């Protein structure tokens, strides 16, 4: 019998990633506590999960909509909302943190959670830009801490990156791999290195696409067409930036520029900064590189 059996999962943060993680966990039959800052935000998070579940149900139960309704109700029934992070981890087997990418805020959260959770509770961060070891450093459970990095849209993207720090124990790592599989993801393993696997390759690619456009080598529309039709990507780099959010692109480039100060590729992008300063964050605001009606 595995040392850590995971049935109760607490997800901290109900944004795009956290709500997706809560959804796929509940879809797999596990109990989820989803933590957000207040009841209003929780309501919005629950509504976005309901919309996504409807898309999943439409695909899974296209010949029997009544079973789809049942699936949605049962999955939603496994997700409990909470506004109290400390209380929410007391029964948790696993905590997945998906809050803002700010080390001080994550440290404060994990210090509080570490004091409140049972010793057997495993902790993970879904960070895409910070070091897992550095996040874990404020806890007394560095052996029971690792990275679980999901991809947007979480209900659709099959990959889960499982990140081991030098201090993550073998049992914790095995529990993370087994859990990833139990929620239907394909797991790969990576050391605690900047960007892990996907973003270490994707960020320079996206940054170079912006540079090409800024140099006037090609239009952003043509760069998107080129990468879809010439390289088989489902979205071009500008469509993807609009999809994940230009505010995030700006934040990621700032982070990489601090990590690699001598690399011109990651220097702030005038085009992205201008769009963000105009409130054009991509799909979520109705306009980014493209307009969405
Ligand atoms: N919830 C549930 N289902 C969803 C969904 C969601 N949020 N979004 C899309 N779907 C489903 C749709 O219902 C649809 O289902 P059917 O096949 O049954 O019709 C299917 O996914 C395809 O969706 P669409 O037809 O709307 O559009 P599409 O074919 O263009 O696919 C996409 C959309 C899956 C997003 C695809 O364009 C894609 O894979 N894009 C690239 C995404 C990507 O690269 N993500 C990684 C970003 S980087 C990251 O996440 C790292 C990080 O650190 C933040």
| Spacing, Cα 30 to ligand 1 middle (Å) | 23
**Cβ atoms of residues 272 and 250 within 8 Å:** yes
Does residue 131 have an active-site annotation?
no
Does residue 66 have an active-site annotation?
no
What pLDDT does 35 receive?
98
What pLDDT does 4 receive?
80
What pLDDT does 33 receive?
98
Query: Which domains, from first to last, does the chain contain?
Result: 8-191 (3.40.50.720), 199-284 (1.10.1040.10)
φ/ψ of residue 237, rounded to 5: -65, -30
Structure letter (DSSP) for residue 285: G
What pLDDT does 286 receive?
98
> What mean pLDDT, rounded, does the chain reach?
96
| ipTM exceeding the 0.90 mark | yes
**Cβ atoms of residues 208 and 161 within 8 Å:** no
Cα–Cα distance for residue pair 101/129, rounded to 1 Å: 7
Is 19 annotated to bind a ligand? Reply is no
Return averaged pLDDT per consecutive 10 residues of the chain, 293 residues in all: 85 97 98 97 97 97 95 98 98 97 97 98 96 98 98 98 98 98 98 96 96 98 98 98 94 90 92 97 97 93
The pLDDT tens digits of the residues spanning 64-86 come to: 999 999 999 999 999 999 999 99
One-character DSSP codes across 235-284: S-HHHHHHHH-HHHHHHHHHHHHHH-TT-GGGSPPHHHHHHHHTT--BGG
What pLDDT does 72 receive?
97
Block residue for tokens 């409807």: 54
Strand order, beta sheet including 145-149: 79-82, 31-35, 8-12, 94-97, 122-125, 145-149, 159-164, 186-191
| Spacing, Cα 283 to ligand 1 middle (Å) | 13
Angle at 197 between CA 196 and CA 203, to 5 degrees: 85
Which tokens in the block code for residue 104? 């001080």
- Out of 56, 101, 153, give the residue to mutate to test ligand 1, the one with the largest number of ligand atoms within 8 Å of its CB: 153
Is 128 annotated to bind a ligand? Reply is yes
What pLDDT does 1 receive?
52
Cα–Cα distance for residue pair 181/152, rounded to 1 Å: 18
Q: Is 234 in the pocket of ligand 1 (CB under 6 A)?
A: yes
**Cβ atoms of residues 237 and 290 within 8 Å:** no
The model's pTM is: 0.95
């Amino acid at each position: 019998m595995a040392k850590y059996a995971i049935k109760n999962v607490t997800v901290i943060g109900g944004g795009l990633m956290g709500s997706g993680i809560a959804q796929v966990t509940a879809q797999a039959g596990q109990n989820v506590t989803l933590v957000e800052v207040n009841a209003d935000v929780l309501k919005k998070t629950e509504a976005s999960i309901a919309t996504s579940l409807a898309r999943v149900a439409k695909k899974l139960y296209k010949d029997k909509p009544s079973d789809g309704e049942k699936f949605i109700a049962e999955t939603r029934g496994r997700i409990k909302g909470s506004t109290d992070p400390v209380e929410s981890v007391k029964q948790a087997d696993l905590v997945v943190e998906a809050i803002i990418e700010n080390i001080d805020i994550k440290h404060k959260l994990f210090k509080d959670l570490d004091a409140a959770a049972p010793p057997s509770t495993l902790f993970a961060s879904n960070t895409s830009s910070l070091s897992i070891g550095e996040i874990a450093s404020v806890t007394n459970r560095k052996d029971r801490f690792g990275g679980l990095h999901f991809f947007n849209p979480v209900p659709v993207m099959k990959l889960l990156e499982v990140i081991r720090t030098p201090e993550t124990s073998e049992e914790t790592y095995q529990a993370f791999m087994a859990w990833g599989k139990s929620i239907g993801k394909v797991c790969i393993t990576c050391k605690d290195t900047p960007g892990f696997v996907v973003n270490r390759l994707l960020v320079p690619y996206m940054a170079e696409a912006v540079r090409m456009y800024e140099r006037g080598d090609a239009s952003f529309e043509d760069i998107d067409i080129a990468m879809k039709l010439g390289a088989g990507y489902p979205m071009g780099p500008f469509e993807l930036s609009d999809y994940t959010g230009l505010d995030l692109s700006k934040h990621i480039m700032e982070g990489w520029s601090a990590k690699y100060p001598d690399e011109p590729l990651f220097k702030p992008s005038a085009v992205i900064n201008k769009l963000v300063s105009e409130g054009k964050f991509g799909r979520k605001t109705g306009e980014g590189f493209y307009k969405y009606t």
